[in-house]
């Protein structure tokens, strides 16, 4: 037959070949990471086209990201001469957008309708709440947004929601008002894109019929992460004459928190009466040390459909494990290692930079790595989320800081004059702009001329900035930023948002960023690593040093009112604030040029789904971070984290690094961390510990000739946490019996740094033993008992 001789099919294994050439019927390809699911899906499209079974217009393929869609089109074009524009390849939202653009009249939308992202949606909800005098205490905008999105995902319009109780009645009313406003303004939110296209298909028979005939083949990648509405939407496009080809991996379902239903796979099999189910078990991506690690890890999950993966690629290199004393040291180690990778070693050629990925669990972790890369001049690119200084909340914060420096910065003025909302409407702002234009002055200077309520609100805003400028005059950069975060109302504002926690984390990261900036500018890059007692006397009073040092040390937080950083360009001296703002602008803007083709790839594990790289670093592998604090409480949460870790590991082809740090400055606080439990679930034989498996660190243990602190004391004499004696040189693996720490939950203990606290829980044994302690003044901390000394208080 034609098909088996086609060169397209030449390199497929028998199961892949079977999947690619399945008849025009519904099918499910269930297979593990790197087994060629995406390749099979792409090849099937090419095969269907090249054998004339379908024309480009008859194909719809759903990918999980826009990037994946682009990649698929590129591959198709490489396989055969075809106009990919005619094909519907994209994400659910992308395809719905395309659909609504094509049928805007039917959808009752303006041709040029705009899309609201999550943030815009929230502002829209807020406007409704304000305009109709809704009691925000009872119906916070965030909750309303959640409610509205939830309804849409369940396919419910306001009239369809069951009115249970007074509260729901009111919520539905707000939902309706919001809908009216969106309709009036010609905008649609994400949920609306899906729901409206679903409804048009449902309600318009000729259209429905048209599309069911048109799309002969519907192919969906990453099926395990579809939600209810997406599933219903697919069902709407499916019919007697076409087939749905779904590929997925239950072990890679990582979006349950956003409504993904792994159960869609089982539903699909029964509701579509799927007769063809194919498993792919050969992994083509990774060497077996990497793959064994992934397999072994995921075996610890109970809820699995069960499948296995094997590779013929041989063991390859061991998985390298590294323990750093601090997050900063971890980042610097990554940079060092990266350099080796890029340069090559002996007979091994260097890896291209874009074949190296650095992964982390949460966005807030990227900042310290970005800074290290930036300082080392290593080109990098951040995916899935904006670069740190480009994030909206950071830009808002920077705008406030800029206004402190320069009240006439109109861009910053406009950005925050009504953010957080303070009753200065678009019309007032327009009038203000007109006035400023007429008088040829800044918005700030024109504000005095505005009258009425808007004028009063504007005056209040300006008064606030003036007061803040006064109050921060003698403060350090850190204190300035902290005060600004509070006084601007930004923190308060984000507390009320659904995704606000992340933003607050990022704002706290801004404090860290400022601090390391001051440290590094003050001492030059190398100074960060200097132990306290090697600094010249008085050095600490000249410059605040805290990154890399314990911020709770009193001398580390010395205010440095007269600290000035030289500005290399102008020869003038800038205030720390001005210097920092310059740094932020440079790092976000011009540096873009660096982020070209050959750049190291930075991203969260979530956004790495489906991708692959020669070398992968998974950083921050610490309890409370990965698995995340929130997930640790329940079984399902932990299984999802384990799947996430499985996704992370299986991104690597040749080299995998796993790293963790004993301490981490995160969200403005130094955390003492324990390495993740996932290390205990990996096959020991596949791992190579670059640092001794024992906690603790020291000069020789980390292979640094100098520069890394060996004598730094974290908790004064008593803590003895990182006093260096734990690793005499050369490091000897410490054979320690399980410590008889004699601690119990509920016990009152004393810690030299945090003071008195109560043990909430204890975990682990021997060197891994740790205690969760609630300190009234410092909050809840996890402390490794091998490092932190806790004395019972009686
Ligand atoms: P994930 O679950 O991570 O999305 P996947 O199952 O979609 O992975 P692919 O990305 O399609 O896997 O394939 C993994 C790698 O293996 C790709 O580089 C692909 O080109 C390669 N590959 C797949 N099948 C074969 C094959 N038969 N021969 C050679 N290489 C293959
Ligand atoms: Mg894939």
pLDDT, tens only, 116-164:
667 668 877 987 887 788 999 999 999 999 999 989 988 899 999 998 8
Closest CA to 503 of 756, 252, 142, 226: 142
| Residue 718: per-residue pLDDT | 30
Contact 783, 672 (CB under 8 A): yes
- pLDDT class for 80, splitting at 50, 70, 90? confident
The pair of structure tokens assigned to 435 is 């006035």
34 CA to centre of ligand 1 in angstroms = 5
- 163's tokens: 């009115």
DSSP state of 783: E
Q: How far apart are CA 196 and CA 115, in angstroms?
A: 13
**What is the arithmetic mean of pLDDT over 689-718?**
42
Give CA–CA dist 16/411, Å, rounded: 55
The confidence score (pLDDT) of residue 411 equals: 73
Q: Is 692 in the pocket of ligand 1 (CB under 6 A)?
A: no
Per-residue pLDDT at 531 exceeds 60? no
Protein residue closest via CA to atom 18 of ligand 1: 285
Greatest alpha-carbon span in the chain: 85
| Contact by Cβ (8 Å): 364, 502 | yes
The pLDDT of residue 701 is 31
Give yes or no for residue 323 having a pLDDT over 70. yes
Q: Answer whether 253 contacts ligand 1 (Cβ < 6 A).
A: no
Q: How far is it, in rounded angstroms, from Cα 617 to Cα 657?
A: 5
Asked if residues 794 and 779 have their Cβ atoms less than 8 Å apart, the reply is: no
Residue 323 is among the residues annotated as catalytic for this protein: no
The confidence score (pLDDT) of residue 463 equals 94
Catalytic residue among 222, 225, 355, 641: 222
What is the percent of the chain where pLDDT is above 70? Answer: 82
Whether the CB of 35 sits within 6 Å of ligand 1 = yes
457-472 pLDDT, tens digit each: 999 999 999 999 999 9
Q: What are phi and psi of 220, to 5 degrees?
A: -130, 125
Ligand in nearest proximity to the CA of 42: 1
Does position 37 have pLDDT exceeding 60, yes or no? yes
ipTM exceeding 0.95?
Answer: yes
The answer to whether residue 643 scores a pLDDT higher than 50 is yes
Cβ partners under 8 Å of residue 436, min gap 6? 410, 442, 443, 445, 446
Round the average pLDDT of the chain to a whole number and report it. Answer: 80
Q: Ligand 1 pocket, 289 CB below 6 A? A: no
Cα dist from 411 to 117, 415, 566, whole Å: 22, 6, 26
- Confirm or reject: Cβ of 279 under 6 Å from ligand 1: no
Which residue, by CA, sits nearest to atom 23 of ligand 1? 36
Residue pLDDT, tens place only, 348-367: 889 999 999 999 999 889 88
Ligand nearest to the CA of 39: 1
37 lines ligand 1 (CB under 6 A): yes
Q: Which of residues 170 and 98 earns the better pLDDT score?
A: 170
Q: What is the pLDDT of residues 581-593, one digit of tens each?
A: 767 765 543 333 3
* DSSP code at position 258: G
Among left, alpha and beta (phi > 0; psi -120 to 50; other), residue 731 is beta
The predicted pLDDT at position 133 comes to: 86
Backbone angles phi, psi at 326, to 5 degrees: -140, 165
d(CA 624, CA 747): 22
Q: How many helices and strands in the chain, by DSSP H and E?
A: 27, 23
Q: Is 221 known to be catalytic?
A: yes
Residue from 436, 444, 440 nearest 406 by CA? 444
Say how many Å lie between the CA of residue 642 and the centre of ligand 2.
18
The answer to whether the CB of 643 falls within 8 A of the CB of 251 is yes
- Say which of 15, 16, 21, 38 is annotated catalytic: 38
Average the pLDDT over each of 84-88, 306-310, 573-577, 734-738 and give the range with the smallest value. 734-738
- Structural tokens at position 88: 């519907």
697 neighbors 365 (Cβ within 8 angstroms): no
- Helix, strand, coil percentages, rounded to 5, for the chain: 50, 15, 35
Q: Which residue has the higher pLDDT, 236 or 85?
A: 236
Q: Residue 489: how many CB atoms within 10 A of its CB?
A: 16
To which residue do tokens 């200084």 refer?
Answer: 389
Residue 535 vs residue 93, higher pLDDT: 93
Least confident of 329-333, 335-339, 736-740, 759-763: 736-740
| Ligand number with the minimum distance to the CA of 613 | 1
User: What is the distance between the alpha carbons of residues 254 and 642, in angstroms, rounded to a whole number?
Assistant: 9
- pTM of full prediction above 0.80: no
As to burial, measured by CB atoms within 10 angstroms (0-12 exposed, 13-18 middle, 19+ buried), residue 43 is: buried
State the pLDDT confidence band at 763, using cuts at 50, 70 and 90. confident
DSSP state of 77: H
pLDDT-derived band at 387 (thresholds 50, 70, 90) equals low
621 Cα to the center of ligand 1, angstroms: 26
Paired strand residues for 774: 758, 780
pLDDT band, very low/low/confident/very high, at 258 (cuts 50, 70, 90): confident
pLDDT for the residue 102: 85
């Amino acid at each position: 037959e034609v098909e088996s001789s086609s060169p397209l099919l030449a390199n497929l294994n028998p199961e892949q070949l079977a999947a690619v050439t399945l008849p025009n019927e519904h099918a499910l390809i269930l297979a593990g990471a790197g087994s060629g699911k995406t390749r099979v899906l792409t090849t099937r499209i090419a095969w269907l086209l090249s054998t004339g079974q379908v024309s480009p217009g008859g194909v719809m393929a759903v990918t999980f990201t826009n990037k994946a869609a682009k990649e698929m089109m590129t591959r198709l074009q490489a396989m055969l001469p075809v106009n990919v524009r005619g094909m519907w390849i994209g994400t659910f939202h992308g395809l719905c957008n395309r659909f609504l653009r094509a049928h805007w009249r039917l959808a009752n939308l303006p041709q040029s309708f705009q899309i609201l992202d999550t943030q815009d949606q929230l502002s829209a909800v807020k406007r409704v709440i304000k305009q109709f005098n809704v009691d925000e205490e009872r119906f916070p905008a965030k909750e309303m947004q959640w409610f509205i999105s939830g309804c849409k995902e369940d396919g419910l319009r306001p009239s369809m929601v069951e009115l249970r109780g007074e509260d729901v009645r009111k919520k539905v009313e707000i939902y309706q008002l919001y809908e009216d406003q969106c309709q009036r303004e010609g905008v649609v939110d994400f949920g609306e894109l899906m729901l409206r296209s679903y409804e048009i298909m449902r309600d318009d028979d000729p259209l429905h019929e048209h599309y069911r005939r048109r799309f002969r083949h519907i192919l969906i990648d990453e099926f395990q992460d579809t939600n209810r509405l997406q599933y219903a939407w697919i069902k709407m496009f499916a019919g007697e004459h076409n087939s749905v080809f779904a590929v997925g991996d239950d072990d890679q379902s990582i979006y349950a928190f956003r409504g993904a239903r792994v159960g869609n796979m089982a539903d699909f099999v029964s509701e579509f009466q799927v007769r063809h189910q194919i498993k792919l078990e050969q992994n083509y991506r990774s060497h077996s040390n990497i793959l064994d690690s992934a397999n072994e890890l995921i075996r610890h999950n109970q809820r699995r459909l069960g499948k296995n993966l094997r590779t013929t690629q041989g063991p390859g290199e061991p998985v390298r494990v590294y323990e750093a004393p601090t997050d900063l040291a971890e980042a610097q180690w990554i940079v060092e290692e990266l350099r080796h990778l890029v340069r090559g070693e002996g007979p091994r050629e260097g890896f291209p930079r874009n074949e190296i990925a650095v992964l982390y669990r949460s966005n807030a972790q990227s900042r310290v790595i970005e800074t290290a890369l930036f300082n080392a001049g290593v080109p990098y690119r951040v995916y899935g989320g904006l670069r740190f200084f480009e994030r909206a909340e950071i830009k808002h914060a920077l705008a406030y800081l800029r206004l402190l420096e320069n009240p006439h910065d109109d861009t910053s003025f406009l950005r925050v004059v009504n953010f957080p909302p303070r009753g200065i409407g678009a019309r007032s702002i327009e009038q203000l702009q007109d006035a400023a234009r007429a008088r040829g002055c800044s918005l700030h200077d024109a504000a005095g001329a505005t009258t009425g309520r808007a004028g009063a609100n504007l005056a209040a805003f300006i008064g606030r900035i003036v007061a803040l400028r006064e109050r921060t005059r003698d403060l350090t950069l850190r204190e300035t930023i902290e005060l600004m975060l509070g006084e601007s109302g930004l923190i308060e504002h984000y507390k009320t948002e659904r995704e606000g926690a992340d933003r607050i984390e990022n704002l706290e990261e801004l404090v860290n960023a400022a601090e390391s900036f001051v440290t590094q500018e003050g001492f030059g890059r190398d100074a960060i690593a200097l132990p306290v007692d090697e600094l010249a006397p008085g050095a600490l009073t000249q410059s605040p040093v805290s990154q890399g040092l314990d911020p709770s040390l009193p001398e580390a937080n010395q205010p440095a009112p007269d600290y000035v950083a030289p500005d290399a360009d102008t020869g003038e001296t800038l205030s720390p604030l001005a210097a920092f703002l310059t740094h932020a602008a440079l790092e976000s803007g011009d540096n873009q040029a660096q982020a070209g083709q050959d750049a190291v790839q930075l991203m969260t594990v979530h956004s790495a789904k489906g991708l692959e790289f020669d070398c992968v670093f998974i950083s921050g592998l610490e309890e409370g971070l990965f698995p995340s604090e929130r997930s640790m409480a329940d079984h399902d949460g932990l299984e999802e984290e384990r799947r996430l870790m499985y996704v992370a590991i299986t991104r690597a082809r040749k080299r995998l690094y796993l790293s963790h740090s004993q301490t981490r400055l995160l969200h403005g606080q130094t955390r003492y961390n324990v390495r993740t439990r996932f290390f205990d679930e990996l096959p020991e034989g596949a791992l190579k510990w670059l640092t001794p498996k024992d906690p603790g660190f020291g000069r020789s243990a980390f292979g640094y000739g100098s520069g890394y602190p060996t004598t730094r004391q974290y908790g004064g004499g008593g803590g003895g946490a990182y006093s260096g004696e734990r690793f005499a040189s050369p490091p000897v693996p410490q054979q320690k019996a399980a410590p008889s720490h004699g601690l119990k939950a509920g016990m009152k203990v004393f810690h030299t740094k945090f003071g008195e606290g109560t043990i909430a829980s204890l975990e682990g044994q021997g060197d891994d033993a740790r205690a969760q302690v609630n300190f009234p003044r410092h909050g809840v901390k996890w402390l490794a008992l091998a490092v932190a000394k806790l004395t019972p208080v009686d």
